[in-house]
């Protein structure tokens, strides 16, 4: 087998952890010549977007991704003149965005040998948008490269998928995750291992738990709400929904501050008015995306965190403590877990997961949250 990523500078994909198959496919594409379209797919939080921009840098850099030149730097920040990001406008990627992409892709590259289109949350393309995109994929301009990113590839048109080289990402293995937390953040082995268990293969969540006090506080909040839920009355459940909404608000504010910082930094690099306007445009798109992503990640965290609590209660009730995820809460789990409630715990987990789709399609987050909490409570009765 070809060595992982081969001659491509391994620092190029340095932010991607424990994904040897994906990095082999992308590394070989950079060395041996690339197809027109790639689909990076797999669960959220495992490094697909970072990999997409690193791959774009490899496609735009004259040295195939040296990691040091100005092409690489700008591509990885998403502001290269020959790189466009397409992301949902609201909840979908619309046909007008694809029409714009098609017109744009017909133009020659400005600085690099190619033009690269990173399409985030590609599964949110509306049907007309997906059909229009399919036409572009059927006869792509020779210099155009499309990098689709999706955590729900089953929702993409099969004809779009079949025209892309698939690049699979998986949940980051706990061992690789723990090793990464140890080497990058200097965590002690047992702490790194505990966090890897809590994060359940979600690299971004594991990293956030490591370096962000507020993310650790959010986890405590979600676990304490889940713990309180069985005995909470109607008004208290509504209060819980308020607390979660406040948490989502804090996450959005933190995401906005982070994007603004990066924008300020990129503005300092921008040489002229045209470069500055590109930075403005790229960061407008990114700001919208990051706000949505902050809410989505917060909701995912509430669903998986509260379902995870009842999962651990079920595990303790079934006498399998060694497989508990929230190991730092073992004493509380022993106190709360009742063997007679095993089937109710499983019902609660199912109820929490059923609400996932509701969040995707319902614009009223608070209403969906209340619905989730009440359905979980009902499952316990």
Distance of CA 196 to CAs 129, 204, 293, 359, Å? 39, 11, 22, 27
Q: How far is the CB of 377 from Zn ion (least distance, A)?
A: 54
Candidates 5, 8, 12, 72; binder of Zn ion (CB under 5 A) is: 72
- Between residues 114 and 216, which has the closer beta carbon with respect to Zn ion? 114
Alpha carbon 76 to its chain's center: 16
Q: How far is the CB of 194 from Zn ion (least distance, A)?
A: 38
69 belongs to the binding site for Zn ion (CB under 5 A): yes
Sorted by sequence, the CB contacts under 8 Å of residue 220 that are 6+ apart come out as none
Return the range that interacts with Zn ion (CB under 5 A); candidates 72-80, 210-218, 267-275, 347-355.
72-80
- Between residues 66 and 267, which has the closer beta carbon with respect to Zn ion? 66
342 belongs to the binding site for Zn ion (CB under 5 A): no
Q: How far is the CB of 268 from Zn ion (least distance, A)?
A: 20
Candidates 5, 61, 226, 248; binder of Zn ion (CB under 5 A) is: 61
Could you give the CA distance from residue 169 to residue 150 in angstroms, rounded to a whole number? 10
Q: How many helices (H) and strands (E) does the chain have?
A: 16, 5
66 belongs to the binding site for Zn ion (CB under 5 A): yes
| Maximum pairwise Cα distance, the chain | 69
Q: Where are the alpha helices (DSSP H) in 77-188?
A: 95-105, 127-138, 158-161, 174-185
> Degrees (nearest 5) of the Cα angle 94, 161, 205?
75
- Pattern of binders to Zn ion over 8-47, x per CB under 5 A? ----------------------------------------
- Between residues 269 and 374, which has the closer beta carbon with respect to Zn ion? 269
Could you give the CA distance from residue 224 to residue 233 in angstroms, rounded to a whole number? 15
- Window 123 to 142, contacts with Zn ion (CB under 5 A): none
- Window 223 to 252, contacts with Zn ion (CB under 5 A): none
Alpha carbon 71 to its chain's center: 25
- Between residues 12 and 25, which has the closer beta carbon with respect to Zn ion? 12
- Between residues 72 and 98, which has the closer beta carbon with respect to Zn ion? 72
Q: How far is the CB of 71 from Zn ion (least distance, A)?
A: 5
Q: How far is the CB of 12 from Zn ion (least distance, A)?
A: 8
Alpha carbon 251 to its chain's center: 15
Across 1-64, the runs of DSSP E, i.e. the strands, are 37-41
Hey, what are 310's tokens? 């009842």
Q: How far is the CB of 32 from Zn ion (least distance, A)?
A: 18
**What residues make contact with Zn ion under the rule CB under 5 A?**
61, 66, 69, 71-72
């Amino acid at each position: 087998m070809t060595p992982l990523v081969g001659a491509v500078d391994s620092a190029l994909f340095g932010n991607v952890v424990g994904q040897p198959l994906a990095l082999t496919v992308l590394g070989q594409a950079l060395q041996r010549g690339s197809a027109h379209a790639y689909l990076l797919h797999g669960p959220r939080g495992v490094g697909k977007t970072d990999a997409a921009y690193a791959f774009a840098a490899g496609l735009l850099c004259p040295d195939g991704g040296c990691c040091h030149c100005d092409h690489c730097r700008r591509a990885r920040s998403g502001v290269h003149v020959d790189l466009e990001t397409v992301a949902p406008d609201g909840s979908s990627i619309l046909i007008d965005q694809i029409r714009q992409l098609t017109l744009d892709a017909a133009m020659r590259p400005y600085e690099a040998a190619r033009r690269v289109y990173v399409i985030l949350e590609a599964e949110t393309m509306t049907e007309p948008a997906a059909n229009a995109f399919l036409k572009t994929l059927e006869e792509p301009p020779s210099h155009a490269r499309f990098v689709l990113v999706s955590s729900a590839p089953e929702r993409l048109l099969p004809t779009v998928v079949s025209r892309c080289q698939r690049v699979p990402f998986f949940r980051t293995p706990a061992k690789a995750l723990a090793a990464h937390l140890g080497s990058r953040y200097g965590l002690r082995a047992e702490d790194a291992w505990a966090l890897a268990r809590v994060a359940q293969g979600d690299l971004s969540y594991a990293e956030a738990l490591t370096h962000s006090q507020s993310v650790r506080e959010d986890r405590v909040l979600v676990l304490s709400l889940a713990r309180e839920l069985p005995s909470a009355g109607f008004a208290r459940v509504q209060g819980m929904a308020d607390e979660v909404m406040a948490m989502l608000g804090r996450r959005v504010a933190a995401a906005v501050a982070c994007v603004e910082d990066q924008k300020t930094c990129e503005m300092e690099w921008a040489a002229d008015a045209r470069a500055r306007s590109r930075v403005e445009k790229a960061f407008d798109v990114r700001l919208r995306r990051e706000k949505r992503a902050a809410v989505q990640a917060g909701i995912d965290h509430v669903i998986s965190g509260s379902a995870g609590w009842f999962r651990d209660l079920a595990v303790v009730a079934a006498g399998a403590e060694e497989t508990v995820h929230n190991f730092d809460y073992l004493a509380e789990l022993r106190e709360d877990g009742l063997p007679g409630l095993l089937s109710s715990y499983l019902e609660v987990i199912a109820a929490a997961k059923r609400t996932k789709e509701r969040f995707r399609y319902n614009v009223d987050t608070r209403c969906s949250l209340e619905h989730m909490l009440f359905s979980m409570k009902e499952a316990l009765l």
